[in-house]
Amino acid sequence: MIEIPTGLPAELVPLSWLIGVWEGTGVIDYAVGDENVSQEFGQRISFSHDGLPFLNYSSYTWLLGDDVEGQPLTSETGYWRLARLHIEGDAGPGMLPGVGPRPFNTAQSVETLRNSAEGFDIEVSIVHPTGVSELYLGQVKGPRIDLATDAVVRTQSAKEYAAATRIYGLVDNHLLWAWDIAALGQDLRTHASARLAKAD
């Protein structure tokens, strides 16, 4: 059952099932040439909001195993929101305030954003500390999200990373996700997945 928090901006209702802190474990399974990287990891993900029509996202992972137990692996941070044109009532660019009422502030007005597949188009931006920034486009449809990179930006010092897809789903009150990447000269292929439970 999905509970919608009180005081939630109407635009976040389709993404409301993500809100909270999730913890659990997963596995990396990625082939580079003839080598296969396989490793278990722990993860903590947080989705929150601050009254604005987007979710704040952060993820922290660490390695699991006898020789590496608890060793930090990586982190991500970003923003998740419904994809729509911004108009006068929206803030920005920069710190410019919106002019007039904030748009899409009722459930009825948000319903007009449904796409032809009966879901909602979304945009997700994720930044990695390794010099990679990703812009994902996708869809949320009930308790399932499908994303694919529209753009990947890398600093000169970052490792080669070209594209990715991610899938998130709510299954038996657990957040399941899978992440495929095209990196290090490889085509898009399985990279990592995890099963996370809501933290108390």
For the stretch 18-41, pLDDT in tens is 999 999 999 999 988 888 989 999
pLDDT digits over 62-91, tens only?
A: 999 988 989 999 999 999 999 999 999 999
Q: Does 1 map to a domain?
A: no
Q: Is 159 annotated as a binding residue?
A: yes
Q: Does 144 map to a domain?
A: yes
The residues, any chain, with a CB within 8 Å of residue 149's CB and separated by 6 or more, are 134, 135, 136, 163, 164, 165
Q: Does 27 map to a domain?
A: yes
Angle, alpha carbons 165-39-18 (nearest 5°) = 45
Q: How far apart are the first and last CA of the chain?
A: 17
Question: Model pTM greater than 0.75?
Answer: yes
CA distance 144 to 87: 28
CA distance 200 to 190: 31
- Domain CATH code at residue 144: 2.40.128.20
Q: Does 2 map to a domain?
A: no
Query: Range of 35's domain?
Result: 10-198
Number of domains in the chain: 1
Q: Is 49 annotated as a binding residue?
A: no
